Amino acid sequence: MKITDHKAEKIKDPFGILEGDRYECHLYATVDEEDDLYSLEGFYIRVLYVITETEQKIAGLFLHNRGDDSVLDFELEDDEIELVREYCAANIKE
């Protein structure tokens, strides 16, 4: 899997209840044709990413079909989740 692009939007917390900043990120990725995630439409990874004073972490991760925005019933492997975490840490800034 290779992440090719992203969009990120800071989620507003109007009540100030949540610690740190939260972002909803759409990571656009490509995979080989042999991969179970492969489709002609492609897919994106919707990530809920949290940045606090002491840590940065993935709070949620969902796979979506780019053609119709439906949620895909797949899970990423551990190394792919680590790739997503590293990408977010490098590209999502406060």
Residue numbers of the domain that contains 68: 2-91
Using CA atoms, how far apart are residues 16 and 20, in angstroms rounded to an integer?
9
Q: What is the DSSP string of 14-78?
A: TT--SSSEEEEEEEEEE--TTSTT--SS-EEEEEEEEE-SS-EEEEEEEEEETTT-PBPS----H
Work out how many domains the chain is built from and give that number: 1
Residues 37-91: tens digit of each pLDDT? 888 889 999 999 999 999 999 999 999 999 999 999 999 999 999 999 999 999 9
Residues 14-52: tens digit of each pLDDT? 887 888 999 999 999 999 999 988 888 899 999 999 999
pTM over 0.85: yes
- pLDDT at position 69 is 93
Nearest-CA neighbor of 4 among 78, 48, 66? 66
